[in-house]
């Protein structure tokens, strides 16, 4: 009987310590939003890289032709390339700032995959344990609205400079 009591007491002790707490519906949704945002940011980096490659391939031949084309104030090609690079740079900087504001969620591991040689950002993302699950969800939704605006801005940047028109 003594052993039964000790076994029962030990079992109750282990049960009271509990295992991992199940996430609330709000925290589950916040994690879904967070993972979706991280995916969008990753896609945006790929698109930025492609657009920068396009810019460089269009810019290199002009640079080889000499400074007169690039320095000409009325050169629509040079103006278009400048606008294109300025807008790409703005999106890139905005994306970096957005990432710096990105907080991790309690219990969320960050297993981001990277292309070879790409590993320049901090994975810690920090968390804010003082926020309730509902506040975590609202924060993630706000960050998601910001990244969607940035993505829309990126998708509107186009480079068509063959005749100097349609540069956006």
Which residue, among 114, 110, 132, 107, has the nearest Cα to 123 in the 3D structure? 110
Domain of residue 35, residue span? 25-104+129-168
More confident: 64 or 123? 64
pTM above 0.75, yes or no: no
pLDDT of residue 44: 96
> Cα–Cα distance between 140 and 150 in angstroms, integer?
15
Percent of the chain with pLDDT over 70: 57
Percent of the chain with pLDDT over 90: 39
Tens-place pLDDT, residues 81-135? 778 888 999 999 999 999 998 888 887 665 444 444 444 444 445 666 688 999 9
- Evaluate whether residue 5 is within a structural domain: no
Q: Could you tell me which residues come within 8 angstroms of residue 71 by beta carbon, excluding any fewer than 6 positions away?
A: 78
Number of domains composing the chain:
1
More confident: 143 or 8? 143
- Evaluate whether residue 46 is within a structural domain: yes
Least confident of 42-51, 78-87, 129-138: 78-87
- Evaluate whether residue 157 is within a structural domain: yes
- Evaluate whether residue 12 is within a structural domain: no
Beta strands in 52-149 (DSSP E): none
Q: Could you tell me which residues come within 8 angstroms of residue 3 by beta carbon, excluding any fewer than 6 positions away?
A: none
- Evaluate whether residue 116 is within a structural domain: no
* Torsion sign (Cα): 68, 73, 76, 78: positive
- Evaluate whether residue 14 is within a structural domain: no
- Evaluate whether residue 141 is within a structural domain: yes
């Amino acid at each position: 009987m003594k052993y039964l009591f000790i076994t029962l007491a030990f079992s109750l002790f282990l049960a009271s310590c509990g295992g991992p707490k199940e996430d609330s519906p709000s925290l589950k949704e916040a994690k879904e939003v967070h993972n979706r945002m991280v995916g969008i940011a990753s896609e945006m980096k790929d698109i930025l890289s492609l657009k920068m490659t396009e810019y460089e391939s269009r810019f290199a031949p002009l640079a080889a032709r000499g400074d007169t084309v690039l320095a000409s104030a009325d050169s629509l090609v040079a103006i278009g390339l400048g606008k294109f690079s300025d807008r790409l740079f703005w999106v890139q900087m905005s994306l970096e700032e957005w990432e710096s504001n990105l907080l991790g969620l309690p219990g969320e591991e960050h297993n981001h995959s990277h292309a070879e040689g790409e590993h320049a950002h901090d994975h810690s993302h920090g968390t804010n344990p003082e926020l309730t699950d509902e506040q975590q969800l609202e924060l993630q939704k706000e960050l998601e609205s910001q990244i969607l605006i940035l993505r829309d801005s990126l998708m509107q940047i186009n480079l068509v400079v063959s005749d100097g028109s349609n540069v956006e």
